[in-house]
Amino acid sequence: LDELIPIIQPKLNGCNRYYEPFVGGGSVAFALEYKNTIINDLNSELINVYKMIKEKPKFLTYLLTIHENNHYSNSNYFYEVRQIDRLNDYKDVSDVIKASRIIYLNKTCFNGLYRVNAKGYFNVPSAKKEHVVTYSKANMEEIHEYFKDDNVTILSGDFVEATRNAHEGDFVYFDPPYDSWEDKESFTAYSKFDFNKDDQRRLADCFKDLTNRGVKCMLSNHNTAYINELYNGFNIQIIKAKRMINANAAGRGAVEEVIITNY
């Protein structure tokens, strides 16, 4: 954030709309709290969490407290909750129950990782935590206050569709699943839909199309030869970023990222 916000903030002055098509954990969007914002993510479970924080925050926190209490008293509780999405009638479960489930699993699974298998079932093992806190009351309330504004739009879909209406005077920040290094292990698969080299090229094409429309764009990615090739001609700044998610602790630490802008 220390690197990103100073690059984005000046360009938001007088900006019409702020787009974040790969919102993920929302750290940038929440740091900015720009009033005219459109956030999007292909992960429908994540977007459902945001919608429930917006629409039913008290019911959501009530359910999370129940999860916490059951976690303490039942060592098998994590796996009982994890397997719920395998049930035939899971689609009929209410959105707020689904949101509380995925938050609980995220707070109690190994490395706080979100990962599903080819069938779309959550498959991260338990971190075997004895003590778990699933939410911060103050944080939940602040996000709710931000989201309840009608000027914050929450979408779930492809990044191209999410930015289809962007035009001159708008700002788009892309933070996609990163390109993988050829010579080291890196985690980029957050869903059953892998973001591959073709998707990286499709994203670069979208970046160029938005540039031609007069939209200010910024993108983060790994500093790979492929990404440098895709965005040749744009402004590319190399920064060091800390990575916390890796099964091997030796694989965590500072890595090279690029910040790419069309301004």
CA distance 236 to 128: 42
**What SS3 state is found at 149?**
coil
From residue 128, alpha-carbon distances to 1, 75, 77, 114, 155 in Å are 31, 8, 11, 16, 33
Structure tokens at 261: 């802008």
From residue 88, alpha-carbon distances to 12, 51, 57 in Å are 46, 24, 27
Helices (H) and strands (E) in the chain, counts: 10, 7
Amino acid identity of residue 250, one-letter, is A
pLDDT grade, residue 254 (50/70/90)?
confident
Give tens-digit pLDDT for 10-26. 999 889 999 999 999 99
CA distance 35 to 40: 15
Give tens-digit pLDDT for 219-229. 999 999 999 99
Contact in structure between 134 and 67 (CB atoms under 8 Å): yes
**What SS3 state is found at 183?**
coil
Q: What is the mean pLDDT of residues 96-104?
A: 98
CA distance 22 to 156: 10
Mean pLDDT computed over every residue of the chain: 92
CA distance 192 to 189: 7
CA distance 203 to 205: 5
The 3-class SS string of 69-118 reads: HHHHHCCCHHHHHHHHHHCCCHHHCCHHHHHHHHHHHHHHEHHHCCCECC
pLDDT grade, residue 199 (50/70/90)?
very high
Q: What is the mean pLDDT of residues 233-247?
A: 81
Lowest mean pLDDT of 93-107, 165-179, 240-254, name the range. Answer: 240-254
The closest alpha carbon to 217, from 227, 205, 229, belongs to: 205
Bridge partner list, 256: 240
